[in-house]
């Protein structure tokens, strides 16, 4: 048994060579966004995600987090960054983003959801034991998050934890 340890490591900041966006494109996009206030960058990125413009959403959320990591919306931005990867089937990047959201923004409104989505991502990667550990942590670490707890319980049953 892995003792409930999650084995996915957070992204080291792009040095691992698995960035989806070429540096040049990201720089241009961030240049345009940097003059806007944080809420505008966040909203634009979220709207891109809703329109299924995942590359734009990813670049926007990455830019937001690079410039506004202390902002009250940073935890949400980290969660939605993970979601951009998840919906495209990039479960490894998603797991890294959700783990970062859970670890780096534990007081965020999206912390419980990040942990739940970490479990879903790990399960998709075939890491059932770690996925189950993440699902179980949702209930123990976020006892007041009724919806996340309910989903985690459902995933525990579905995965056969």
Count of C-beta atoms within a 10 Å radius of residue 130: 22
Query: Looking at the 3D structure of the chain, how many domains does it have?
Result: 1
Considering only CA atoms, which of 79, 157, 85 is closest in space to residue 113? 79
Residue 10 belongs to a domain: no
Distances (CA, A) of 151 to 17, 101, 157: 34, 18, 10
CATH of the domain at 85: 1.25.40.10
| Three-class DSSP labels, 12-51 | CCCCCCCCCCCHHHHHHHHHHHCCCCHHHHHHHHHHHHHC
Residue 153 belongs to a domain: yes
Residue 15 belongs to a domain: no
- Residue at token pair 């340890």: 5
pLDDT tens for the chain, 161 residues long, are 334 444 443 343 433 334 444 333 333 344 444 457 899 999 999 999 999 999 999 999 999 999 999 999 999 999 999 999 999 999 999 999 999 999 999 999 999 999 999 999 999 999 999 999 999 999 999 999 999 999 999 999 999 99
* Segments forming the whole domain that contains residue 60: 23-159
Residue 5 belongs to a domain: no
Residue 4 belongs to a domain: no
The pair of structure tokens assigned to 14 is 């792009």
Residue 16 belongs to a domain: no
Residue 116 belongs to a domain: yes
The pair of structure tokens assigned to 161 is 């934890």
Residue 7 belongs to a domain: no
């Amino acid at each position: 048994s892995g003792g409930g340890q999650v084995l996915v490591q957070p992204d080291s900041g792009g040095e691992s060579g698995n960035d989806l966006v070429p540096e040049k494109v990201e720089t241009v996009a961030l240049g345009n966004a940097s003059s806007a206030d944080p809420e505008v960058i966040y909203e634009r990125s979220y709207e891109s995600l809703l329109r299924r413009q995942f590359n734009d959403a990813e670049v926007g959320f990455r830019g937001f987090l690079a410039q506004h990591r202390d902002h009250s919306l940073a935890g949400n931005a980290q969660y939605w960054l993970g979601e951009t990867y998840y919906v495209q089937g990039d479960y490894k990047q998603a797991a890294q983003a959700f783990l970062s959201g859970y670890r780096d923004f534990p007081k965020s409104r999206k912390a419980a959801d990040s942990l739940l989505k970490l479990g879903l991502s790990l399960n998709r990667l075939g890491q059932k034991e770690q996925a189950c550990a993440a699902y179980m942590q949702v209930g123990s670490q976020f006892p007041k998050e009724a919806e996340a707890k309910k989903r985690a319980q459902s995933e525990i049953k579905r995965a056969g934890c």
